[in-house]
Each structure stands twice: as C-alpha cells, then as structure tokens.
Amino acid sequence: MKTRQLILLAAFSLITPQLKADETKPYKGKVHAIPGLIEAEHWDEGKAGTAYHDIDEPNRGEDYREKTQVDIEKRPDASNGHGIGWTKKGEWLIYTVEVNESGMYNIEMDGKDVTGPINVPDTGSWKTLKLVTHKNVKLEKGVHLMKVVMDSEGGSKSIGDIDYFKFNKTND
C-alpha cells in the first residue's frame, strides 16, 4: 500500500508530441473521441519510452491491462473503477485522440492533476478526487497524439492521482 498523504501544488501539461502515429496504438484499437471522456488508465498500447514513460519498473497498483510499468490504481470512486497513481515528475502517457470538431475546449480532470500547465490545489486527501477545469484550449479537428506530462511534484513527492480527462466544447 502506498502512503496516503496530502498533495500540494503540482502540475502537468497536455501537448501534441512529436511522435509518429505508428509508434503507439490506441488502447484496444479505440481512438478517444473529443468531445468526450478519456479514462486516464486507457493510454495507448506500446513500449515504455513510446507509449509511456514511468520511472520505476513495477506496476505498483492493479493488473488492469497488459503488463506495464505504469502504476494503475483501483479505486471505487473513480470513473471505470481505475485511475493512474504514484505519479512522478518526468513521467508521461500518450493517448491517441480524434478531435471531431475544431474549436475551443474546456478540459476537465477528475483527480489531482490538470493540463496547461496549471497548478492543482491540494484536495486534502489521497482519498479525495476533485474536478479541475482548464478552459479554452484550442484544438484542431483530426487525429492527434495527446501527451500528458507530469511536470512538477507537490509536497507529497508525487503529482497526484488521475482518473480521467474530459473534453467539452465551449458554446461560443
């Protein structure tokens, strides 16, 4: 079991990486649609260093999918019952996404993490997930690789637990 403790400010960013599309495969062959909800635990299939980077070899959590170094957390309060935990500075995950409509989006993160970069507030407990919204991100229609990067650690020496990423198109 990991130590439960408070998380302080942390951040990560969401960018389109310079990767070839054939280096990773969408999880179970399903491209994530935007607008839509992307489960954090459904990053692309592929090798360490291409589909993800994780600083320690074991999966410290659940065997939810193929053998991986990424630390998958099982938690009943999370969407799909799972999320990503034990996050460390420098780690990243790739998601193949398809933006179905160009425009401005609000990105919601259920967990202690965000996009941006943006600072995340202390939710008070590892057992508490909070919705964090990052507004007005411009996205172009088409297939993209989304890279979630763990930028900096908070006082807990982690980034936070991530449940999902939700993309809502703004109404303007």
Q: According to the binding rule CB under 5 A, does residue 164 interact with Ca ion?
A: yes
Half-sphere exposure of 98 (CA within 13 A, CB side): 7
Build a one-symbol-per-residue string for 70-109: x at contacts with Ca ion by CB under 5 A, - elsewhere: -x------xxx--x--------------------------
Q: Write the CA distances from 103 to 3, 66, 171, integer angstroms.
A: 41, 35, 10
Q: How many residues bind Ca ion (CB under 5 A)?
A: 11
Residue number with CB closer to Ca ion (64 or 103): 64
> What is the maximum span of the chain, computed from C-alpha positions, in angstroms?
46
CA nearest to 20, candidates 158, 143, 148:
143
* 54 vs 113, beta carbon nearer Ca ion: 54
Token digits of residue 29: 């062959």
Cα–Cα distance, 34 to 144 (Å, whole number): 10
Shortest CB 58 distance to Ca ion, Å: 5
Which CA distances in Å does 141 have to 30, 93, 138?
17, 21, 10
Q: Which is nearer to Ca ion, 111 or 154 (CB)?
A: 111
**What minimum distance in Å lies between the beta carbon of 70 and Ca ion?**
6
Residue 39 within binding range of Ca ion, rule CB under 5 A: yes
CB of 140 to Ca ion, least distance (A): 26
- 44 touching Ca ion, by CB under 5 A: no
For Ca ion, the closer of residues 82 and 144 by Cβ is 82
> Is residue 162 within 8 Å of residue 52, measured between CB atoms?
no
| Exposed/middle/buried for residue 122 (C-beta within 10 Å: 0-12, 13-18, 19+) | middle
* Site of interaction with Ca ion (CB under 5 A): 39, 54, 56, 69, 71, 78-80, 83, 163-164
